[in-house]
Chains A and B, each alone.
Chain A
């Protein structure tokens, strides 16, 4: 790993200042992607700004039909949080299936969402539930936030402080993990929001997480696994790699949509 200067700010303002004063600063949260990436020399930030010690960046609050999760909250804490389990059990289930137990003890929701790995789980929940990404300076709707593989609406030096999820009537997630990496070959998050159905797909698309209009239309009329039967598998925009062809991923997306509805 190349050298980097480590900062541990105690406030969001100090974190923003540390980032803006750095030549090439990166936010360090759980580090479960950033540290391996640095070890492989795929990233060489000059400065690391650790946001875990900032007051108010961790924890869950539920109020007025929303569940707000601090950006530095670990996957393990989301998976076992009483408010998340009560209001959005599908999200708790998703968090409990990320990586492995040791990764879940460190990795955070803000880190996952900011990184927008095309095969990460959380982007599917954020987009599928129509959540709001809260940063140090604004709020960004999920539909505007994800802009392709590893690309988001975040400006240089902008820090995610929380993700605010609206409580859905029903929501569920199902994925087919790669047997080695445990990242999703495909993952589907379905939500009956009360104001329509949203279906977000991760792992499978060439441009990362995206919504599936055909599945949303089918489930919009009838939120049941049977409703998925009539939807044709759509290869357009599906990724093909050594693990799975585009046709296979398209097929699996529909299968997972059914499982996600059944799990909701």
Chain B
């Protein structure tokens, strides 16, 4: 066992884990943050996407021990039931989900792509969103509304950024 310390959703956490514990297992089983889903466990579905030091990664394909000292955000950390993140609000408005299993990964990938395109000064078109969703699979095939939701959230998030500046 090895001690792993991270900041998860703004809180410092520290746990003893096996050296081959996956980040997804660490989040779900040690921290009981079960919003991060494991769909395929073969690195293909993207339901387990979280943000590590500002980058969206698949938590089922990273060892917790290798991310010691990192700053993590999971879907639990982006908003709350009474104060949804604009991405969550847009998914709700456009019904960007059917069964909802892939939604945590879609939300985290969606926020990441909006932030990356914004930082690069590129326009996040519907076509670009579909391309960016390459690694997030919805088995209910609900992509149409997911794309609409991310498109709207991109606008809301850009507006909020401008207002903040």
Q: Which residues of A contact B (CB under 8 A)?
A: 1-6, 8, 28, 31-32, 35-36, 38-40, 48, 50, 52, 76, 80, 99-103, 105-106, 180-182
Taking a contact as CB atoms under 8 Å apart, the answer to whether B20 and A105 are in contact is: no
Tell me if B16 counts as interface (CB < 8 A to partner A). no
In the complex, the answer to whether B62 meets A106 with C-beta atoms within 8 Å is yes
Contact of B66 among A28, A38, A76, A80 (CB under 8 A): A28
Rounded to whole Å, the gap between the CB of A231 and the closest CB of chain B is 31
Residue with the greatest number of chain A CB neighbours at <10 A, chosen from B2, B57, B109: B57
Residues of B within 8 A of A38 (CB): 20
Q: Which residue of A lies closest to B49 (CB)?
A: A102
On chain A, the residues within 8 Å of B136 by CB distance are 100
Q: Tell me which of B43, B66, B109, B120 contacts A6 (CB under 8 A).
A: B66
- Cβ of B135 within 8 Å of any chain A Cβ, yes or no, is yes
B134 within 8 A of A: yes
- Bound-state CA distance A106–B58 (Å) is 9
The closest CB in chain A to the CB of B21 belongs to A1
How far does the alpha carbon of A28 sit from the alpha carbon of B67 in the complex, in Å?
A: 13
Cβ contacts under 8 Å, B135 to chain A: 99-103
* Residue from B18, B19, B66, B109 with most neighbouring chain A CB atoms (10 Å): B66
Max chain B CB contacts within 10 Å: which of A28, A36, A50, A181? A36
Q: How many A-B residue pairs have CB under 8 A?
A: 77
Q: Which residue of A lies closest to B2 (CB)?
A: A6
Q: Are A102's CB and B58's CB within 8 A?
A: yes
Docked pose: A3 CA to B63 CA in angstroms:
12
Query: How distant is A25 from chain B, measured CB to nearest CB, in Å?
Result: 13
The answer, yes or no, to whether B65 is at the interface (CB within 8 Å) is yes
Is there a chain A Cβ closer than 8 Å to B118's Cβ?
no
Within 8 A of A (CB), among B98-122: 109, 112-113, 116, 120
B134 x A101 contact (CB < 8 A):
yes
**Which chain B residues lie closer than 8 Å to A31 at the CB level?**
61-63, 66
B132 interface hit (Cβ, 8 Å): yes
| Min distance, Cβ A221 to any Cβ of chain B, angstroms | 36
Mask for B29-49, Cβ within 8 A of A = 1, else 0?
Answer: 000000000000111101001
Closest CB-CB distance, A145 to chain B, in whole Å?
A: 26
Q: B44, B61, B120 — which one has the most chain A CB atoms within 10 A of its CB?
A: B61
Complex Cα distance, B42 from A6, in Å, reads 21
Do B61 and A105 touch across chains, with their CB atoms under 8 A apart? Answer: no
Set A3, A8, A36, A180: member contacting B61, Cβ < 8 A: A36
Q: How near does chain B come to A112, taking the closest CB pair, in angstroms?
A: 15
A8–B67 Cα distance when bound, in Å, is 11
Q: A243 CB to closest chain B CB, in angstroms?
A: 16
Closest to B120 in A: A80
- 18 pairs, CB–CB < 8 Å, chain A vs chain B: A3-B18, A4-B20, A6-B19, A6-B20, A31-B63, A35-B62, A36-B42, A40-B42, A50-B66, A99-B134, A100-B46, A101-B112, A101-B113, A102-B46, A102-B135, A105-B55, A105-B57, A106-B61
